């Protein structure tokens, strides 16, 4: 009998451990191991662009996942540059920078309600959005246009609007990246970024949008793999009890679900390892562990084994797992509540993008336009999402060049007698892009420069159009304005 009790206890513990995991997989159909694990208590899945072929096939995938269990089905749909539903074509919604530039909280809520409606129709119940980061570092390599802006109050009010919009569609918001990723100059996909701020500054600047989101009832908050020496010491926040338990749970009074950023990022794997990071993040106060796209079925087994071993040897109290399970259970109950409000009109994304675009100088009528897009390397968070003007300006010749390979004399020759439009993305971060633009403007001061990232570097005297993002909606709004 004692062996049966032990086996039953071990099975229950493994189920609790599996219930903390959000796994990923390749392809547009669920593999057998994921379905089997869902039947045995797996917490859920995180979907990426490679899982999404079209809305119909995504709906079929999520339906199959729900047949196997009661999963949290999550993805990153921020609108703008970071999209999963429209990964192969570009988002029909502008991102946070554009919404912050417009600064109409009703518009932000409508955009996020529409995003929530899209997700709900596809069977997704948790959106890892919005970014509540206050982007105070111009050269931030991972946030940028994903932030509503550099002003704390602006970010706070639009974060609240985004939470209300998503959750009115019965899709849980996951406000990120706690305690704030906006002051960093490193990418946590590659290393542990530093937030060099006192706790007092952190409370005034980074934490304010998260307090506002908590007051607005956000169902989940995502941790950041950032190191804040004044708060977390040498640890990233994802592994810090000071950040997740003392600050977020204690001082800020948050009772919802805490989700980790992807644990397969180098900030975790290159420091404490994937399984070690899983245990440490749970012990620190996380409830759901987003594993990211890299871990395999074997990795998932090792993570569960390590969590069980940590409970057995006292590194992880079993009560901590039980508390995580209780919070996730409350979230699942909320998923089942009826939707309220109405479905948003499908053109709201383009409407918002049109309101965000700004023009400095005067755009002349186009004559046989030549559009030169200066390539920008994609970030890991964004992935290889299409951006630019093709095929949105059918009357133009559009081509893309790598800045270090740009043949400026040849471009100028091709542009003789034609309107010249030069498109860049976050040119302030790339001196090679600035050099190409400056060389072209030296001969063609009548050229128009289109910035599809943050409009920080502006060549003097040029006609300059800022879109505040590189989503398909941003590009269409810019193309319309140029074609008038």
- Active centre residues (catalytic): 189, 261
The answer to whether the CB of 54 falls within 8 A of the CB of 82 is no
Long-range contacts of 294-302 (CB under 8 A, 24+ apart): 294/24, 294/264, 295/23, 295/24, 295/263, 295/264, 297/31, 297/33, 299/274, 299/275, 300/21, 300/23, 300/37, 302/274, 302/275
- What's the length of the chain? 484
| C-alpha–C-alpha distance, residues 134 and 140, integer Å | 11
Separation of first and last alpha carbons in the chain: 81
Whole-angstrom Cα distance, residue 474 to residue 98?
A: 8
Residue partners of 333: CB distance under 8 A and separation at least 6: none
In whole angstroms, give the CA distance from residue 164 to residue 105: 10
- Identify the residue whose tokens are 């968070």: 381
DSSP 360-397: ES-PPPPSS-EEEEE--PPPTTT-S---SSTTT-TTSE
Encoding tokens for residue 480? Answer: 């319309």
Work out the angle at residue 409's Cα, subtended by the Cα atoms of residues 406 and 414, and round it to the nearest 5 degrees.
95
Tell me the C-alpha distance between 170 and 207, whole Å: 25
Cα 271 from Cα 218, distance rounded (Å): 30
């Amino acid at each position: 009998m004692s062996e049966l009790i032990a086996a039953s206890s071990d099975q229950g513990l493994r189920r609790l451990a599996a219930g903390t995991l959000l796994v990923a997989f390749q392809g547009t159909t669920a593999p057998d191991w994921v379905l089997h694990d869902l039947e045995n208590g797996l917490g859920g899945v995180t979907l990426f662009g490679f899982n999404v072929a079209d809305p119909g096939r995504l709906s079929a995938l999520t339906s199959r996942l729900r047949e196997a269990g009661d999963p949290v089905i999550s993805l990153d749909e921020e609108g703008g540059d970071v999209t999963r539903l429209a990964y192969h074509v570009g988002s029909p919604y502008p991102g946070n920078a554009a919404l912050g530039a417009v600064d109409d909280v009703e518009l932000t809520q409508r955009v996020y309600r529409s995003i929530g409606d899209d997700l709900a129709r596809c069977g997704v119940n948790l959106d890892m959005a919005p970014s509540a980061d206050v982007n105070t570092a111009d050269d931030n390599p991972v946030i940028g246009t994903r932030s509503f802006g550099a002003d704390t109050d602006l970010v706070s009010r639009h974060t609240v609007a985004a939470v209300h919009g998503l959750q009115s569609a019965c899709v849980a918001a996951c406000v990120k990246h706690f305690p704030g990723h906006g002051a960093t100059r490193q990418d946590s996909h590659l290393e542990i970024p530093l937030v060099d701020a006192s706790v007092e500054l952190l409370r005034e600047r980074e934490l304010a949008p998260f307090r506002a989101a908590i007051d607005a009832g956000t169902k989940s908050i995502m941790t950041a793999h950032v190191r804040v020496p004044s708060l977390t010491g040498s640890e990233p926040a994802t592994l810090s009890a000071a950040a997740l338990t003392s600050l977020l749970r204690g001082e800020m009074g948050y009772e919802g679900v805490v989700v980790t950023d992807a644990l397969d990022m180098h900030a975790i794997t290159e420091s404490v390892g994937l399984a070690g990071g899983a245990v440490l993040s749970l012990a620190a106060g996380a409830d759901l562990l987003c594993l990211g796209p890299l871990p395999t079925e074997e990795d998932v087994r090792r993570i569960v084994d390590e969590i069980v071993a940590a409970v057995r040897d006292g590194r992880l109290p079993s009560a901590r797992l039980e508390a995580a399970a209780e919070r996730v259970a409350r979230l699942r109950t909320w998923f089942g509540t009826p939707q309220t409000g109405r479905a948003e009109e499908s053109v709201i994304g383009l409407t918002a993008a049109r309101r965000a675009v700004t023009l400095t100088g005067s755009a002349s009528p186009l004559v046989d336009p030549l559009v030169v897009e200066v390539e920008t390397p994609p970030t890991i968070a964004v992935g290889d999402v299409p951006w630019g003007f093709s095929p949105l300006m059918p009357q133009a010749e559009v081509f893309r060049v790598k800045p270090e390979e740009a043949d400026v004399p040849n471009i100028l020759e091709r542009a003789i007698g034609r309107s010249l439009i030069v498109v860049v993305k976050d040119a302030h971060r790339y001196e090679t892009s600035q050099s190409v633009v400056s060389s072209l403007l030296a001969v063609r001061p009548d050229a128009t420069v289109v910035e599809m990232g943050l409009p920080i570097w502006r060549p003097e005297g040029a006609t300059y159009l800022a879109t505040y993002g590189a989503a398909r909606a941003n590009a269409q709004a810019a193309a319309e304005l140029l074609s008038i």
